[in-house]
Amino acid sequence: MKYADMDAEALRATEQRVEQHLAALRGRNFQIDMTRGKPSAEQLDLTAEMMTIVGPDDCHGLDGTDYRNYGLGTGIPEAKALFAAYLEVPPDAVIVGGNSSLNLMYDALAGAVLYGVPGGDGPWRARAGLKFLCPVPGYDRHFLVCERLGLTMIPIEMTDEGPDMDHVEALVAEDAAIKGIWCVPKYSNPTGITYSDRVVDRLAAMKTAAADFRIMWDNAYAVHHLGDQRPVLRNIFEACAAKGTADRPLMFASTSKISYAGAGLAVMAASPANIRDAAAKMAVATIGPDKINQLRHVLFFRDMAGVHAHMDRHRALLAPKFAALDGALEGRLGGKGLAEWTKPEGGYFVSVDVLDGCATEAVRLAGEAGLALVPAGATFPYGRDPRDRNIRLAPTMLSLAEIDRAMDIFCISVERACVAKLRASEG
Amino acid sequence: MKYADMDAEALRATEQRVEQHLAALRGRNFQIDMTRGKPSAEQLDLTAEMMTIVGPDDCHGLDGTDYRNYGLGTGIPEAKALFAAYLEVPPDAVIVGGNSSLNLMYDALAGAVLYGVPGGDGPWRARAGLKFLCPVPGYDRHFLVCERLGLTMIPIEMTDEGPDMDHVEALVAEDAAIKGIWCVPKYSNPTGITYSDRVVDRLAAMKTAAADFRIMWDNAYAVHHLGDQRPVLRNIFEACAAKGTADRPLMFASTSKISYAGAGLAVMAASPANIRDAAAKMAVATIGPDKINQLRHVLFFRDMAGVHAHMDRHRALLAPKFAALDGALEGRLGGKGLAEWTKPEGGYFVSVDVLDGCATEAVRLAGEAGLALVPAGATFPYGRDPRDRNIRLAPTMLSLAEIDRAMDIFCISVERACVAKLRASEG
């Protein structure tokens, strides 16, 4: 039954039962970490052959360029071709960087602050009070970049087809201080939704008061399927070109969750003006990326068929974990009216909304019982979830047995926090 | 004889002879590139075993940390230990980054502009007209970073023991807008000199009007010996700590010219406050460095004995090239009073000073005859050599035969430019 329908007596009894369960768990000194979306060792093993695939005699490009030496600051042509197919853009729209797409995204925004971007009127630092739109719940490391750079964040509600576009359109049309929006358009972090065609088209077509408005299109989970449903994300590069806003999107991706989280490749794609601008900034800031590691990826994956076949192997490892997590949530929280959660078709997370005002307490209780979760609020700008209800679950790194145990702790912690809340609001 | 002592007749005859020689060279369509300090393929082959030294089963740290995954944003402990020995600092003073020390240096200064540094009064961007000292001739990519960030560069003459410290001390004591100085303290780019103990001590001890003055200590050639003379560079980390200026130096190095120019490691070392500051900035800007590539370097070199033994093999390849270059300069320009040049005990360059006003023309003539040199002026801020006399030669990438040919073109180009100048000043 729904806990909200319980009478005071039943609630009190439930609280007692839950508290006993939690106390028992606390005594067992579990240590389970569910904070971040990390691949498991089994997933990392899938690219074992990549580790030694480039030998000392394989270090040259087709034109004889020695990839061990300096040069090719925007990446090797073979890697550009692979990631052009990955992002569905032309190869000359691609920059292949180092191992961190977060770093490419940071550099893109830090570069805008320091020097400006094409179509703008100079460095963003020249103007105070600049803002950025942040669909919520979202990715905490996107928000940290804005916070660090002094870009004031405006939360935008996520719907089941992407950010609330009525709100977005109204804001950007009026306010030239709004310089951009963060998007994880496919299997979004953490809600798992994929932007609808209509949302992509509206993002491409909308009028923005800022001439140099940028869409930070972090396509982190482009090929990270969990189910048989494979939603097709509309190509924003083409959508913007068609609407005359070609310079608007900056697209990003990485192989952090395809090859190695610590030793993968990061990639950026954008219009010719944006690529020229980024390449010129990079030419001052770095000698260029590790080209040998780019070659490793090219030799291992070869083409998109290779990438997709590889991601099927990831899926085989991950889908059972998400099924176990969902099953546990259904079994332990289903029908109680305490929480709603996503059932993602891809990506790395399950997003849980508990009763308003209960997330912080549930995360605290879970921590006491040995389950580390990302802090409540982390999925919101400045770490502030106005309804204190969203919690991001990251099951990929855990074994099935650990997931069962983690969900045991999590669900009872949610129950405990919510029952306390319900009792308090009764009294 | 010295050309300056020739009479008009002799000068005219010399010009004719030189011009004929040059015309003959022009007709032969040489294509020799001496612009950058790049290692040769033979040098890159020295680390052939590194390419596959880390196999799929070697990817864990001593504590079990999986280096293929996220984490350890300031580098793996094994690499910190190796580079602590390299830079003669404690391991916790070290950050091991990606493959580009230029990128670490850029991020250090861009971070200062955006957010400030320990000991300062906030972001440098809050204050207009900031300046940086640039010993000349120096490294063009240092100068480009300052130019891009809007830091006005003040040239400082290099003596044979480092920058002119009388000038440096006088400037930094008075002007709080001067925020730092670039230094390549060992086998300096391009003059090859190593800073004397006295210069290091004065840099550590000098009073600076700016509380957050930084020494950008780019120790790019710490172990890159060419001769048996091995000057010992005084440890600026310790010198500054002794003088109460521990936060002043930011030390940098890389293996670009030890392992791979495109796939090496970059490292930074500094005081605890600076390392905390840099690590906090990196935590926002990147997921961290490629730890597997760090492991490759550790397994290959093991310790400083391994590094030194390896650098002996580099030296065996490079010393003959520098000898050939010097021999050609002596043979073709010696005694003519047209040029002076360095005879470096280490590093990657020979610095040539031709007659005032002749460098641009000599570089142009060499280019016409098929020898690409770095543009005249590149070794000075804003590309402006006030005496138009300095030219940087980079022989490492070339074969001995190519060096002979290159010096043939270079010397005759210098002669041609200088003779024209002498004739013009006669007439």
- Name which of B151, B292, B397 to mutate to probe chain A: the one with the most chain A Cβ atoms within 10 A of its Cβ: B292
Is the full-model pTM beyond 0.90?
yes
Q: What is the pLDDT along chain B (427 residues), one digit of tens a residue?
A: 899 999 999 999 999 999 999 999 999 999 999 999 999 999 999 999 999 999 999 999 989 999 999 999 999 999 999 999 999 999 999 999 999 999 999 999 999 999 999 999 999 999 999 999 999 999 999 999 999 999 999 999 999 999 999 999 999 999 999 999 999 999 999 999 999 999 999 999 999 999 999 999 999 999 999 999 899 999 999 999 999 999 999 999 999 999 999 899 999 999 999 999 999 999 999 999 999 999 999 999 999 999 999 999 999 999 999 999 999 999 999 999 999 999 999 999 999 999 999 999 999 999 999 999 999 999 999 999 999 999 999 999 999 999 999 999 999 999 999 999 999 987 6
Q: Look at A145 and B284 and tell me if their CB atoms are within 8 Å.
A: yes
- How much is the pLDDT for B1? 84
- The reply to whether A170 touches chain B by the CB within 8 Å rule is no
Which chain A residue has its CA at the smallest distance from B140's CA?
Answer: A284
Please, which residues have CB within 8 angstroms of residue B370's CB and are 6 or more apart in sequence?
A: B25, B26, B28, B29, B30, B31, B32, B409
User: Which of B:279-298 have CB within 8 Å of A?
Assistant: 281, 284-293
Let me know: does B351 contact B329? Beta carbons within 8 Å: no
Write the residue in A113, A286, A291 that is nearest to B114 by C-beta: A113
- The reply to whether B238 touches chain A by the CB within 8 Å rule is no
Write the residue in A72, A103, A110 that is nearest to B110 by C-beta: A110
C-alpha span between A257 and A140 (Å, rounded): 17
- How much is the pLDDT for A427? 61
Q: What is the pLDDT of residues B23-44, one digit of tens each?
A: 999 999 999 999 999 999 999 9
User: Which of A:10-39 have CB within 8 Å of B?
Assistant: 36, 38-39
Q: What is the pLDDT of residues A158-213, one digit of tens each?
A: 999 999 999 999 999 999 999 999 999 999 999 999 999 999 999 999 999 999 99
Q: Look at A99 and B71 and tell me if their CB atoms are within 8 Å.
A: no
Q: Look at B284 and A38 and tell me if their CB atoms are within 8 Å.
A: no
C-alpha span between B108 and B278 (Å, rounded): 7
Q: Which two tokens stand for residue A262?
A: 């610590």
pLDDT, averaged across chain A = 97
Q: Look at A52 and B55 and tell me if their CB atoms are within 8 Å.
A: yes
Task: Kindly state the DSSP code that residue A60 receives in the 8-state scheme.
Answer: B
Structural domains in chain B, sorted by start? 3-43+308-426 (3.90.1150.10), 62-302 (3.40.640.10)
Match 């129950």 to its residue by tokens. A415
Q: What is the pLDDT of residues A116-140, one digit of tens each?
A: 999 999 999 999 999 999 999 999 9
Write the residue in B106, B262, B286 that is nearest to A292 by C-beta: B262
Please state at what angle helix B400-426 crosses helix B304-333, rounded to 10 degrees: 40
Contacts of B69 in chain A (CB under 8 A): 38-39, 41, 44, 260-262
DSSP of A228-272, one letter per residue? S--PPPP-HHHHHHHHT-TTSEEEEEESTTTS-SSS--EEEE--H
- Name which of B35, B99, B101, B115 to mutate to probe chain A: the one with the most chain A Cβ atoms within 10 A of its Cβ: B99
Write the residue in A49, A72, A260 that is nearest to B292 by C-beta: A260
Please, which residues have CB within 8 angstroms of residue B8's CB and are 6 or more apart in sequence?
A: B423, B426
- How much is the pLDDT for A126? 92
User: Which of A:306-335 have CB within 8 Å of B?
Assistant: none
Q: Look at B38 and A286 and tell me if their CB atoms are within 8 Å.
A: no
C-alpha span between B405 and B34 (Å, rounded): 11
C-alpha span between B51 and B297 (Å, rounded): 9
Q: What is the pLDDT of residues B47-80, one digit of tens each?
A: 999 999 999 999 999 899 999 999 999 999 999 9
Does the pLDDT of residue A426 top 80, yes or no?
A: no
CA distance B256 to chain A (A): 8
Task: Kindly state the DSSP code that residue B68 receives in the 8-state scheme.
Answer: T
Q: Look at A69 and B262 and tell me if their CB atoms are within 8 Å.
A: yes
Q: For residue A112, give the nearest of A179, A19, A57 by alpha carbon.
A: A179
Q: Look at A286 and B106 and tell me if their CB atoms are within 8 Å.
A: yes
Contacts of A263 in chain B (CB under 8 A): 67-68, 290-293
Contacts of B125 in chain A (CB under 8 A): 114, 125
Q: Which two tokens stand for residue A119?
A: 């179509």
Q: Look at B70 and A38 and tell me if their CB atoms are within 8 Å.
A: yes
C-alpha span between A225 and B171 (Å, rounded): 61
For chains A and B, CB pairs below 8 A equal: 165
- How much is the pLDDT for A229? 84
Contacts of A100 in chain B (CB under 8 A): 286-288
Q: Which two tokens stand for residue A393?
A: 């679950």
- Name which of A284, A300, A348 to mutate to probe chain B: the one with the most chain B Cβ atoms within 10 A of its Cβ: A284
- Name which of A290, A297, A299, A398 to mutate to probe chain B: the one with the most chain B Cβ atoms within 10 A of its Cβ: A290
Q: Look at B39 and A284 and tell me if their CB atoms are within 8 Å.
A: no
User: Which of B:252-271 have CB within 8 Å of A?
Assistant: 256, 260-263
- How much is the pLDDT for A7? 94
C-alpha span between A384 and A299 (Å, rounded): 44
Q: Look at B38 and A110 and tell me if their CB atoms are within 8 Å.
A: no
Name the helix (H) or strand (E) containing B422.
Answer: helix B400-426
Let me know: does B214 contact B151? Beta carbons within 8 Å: no
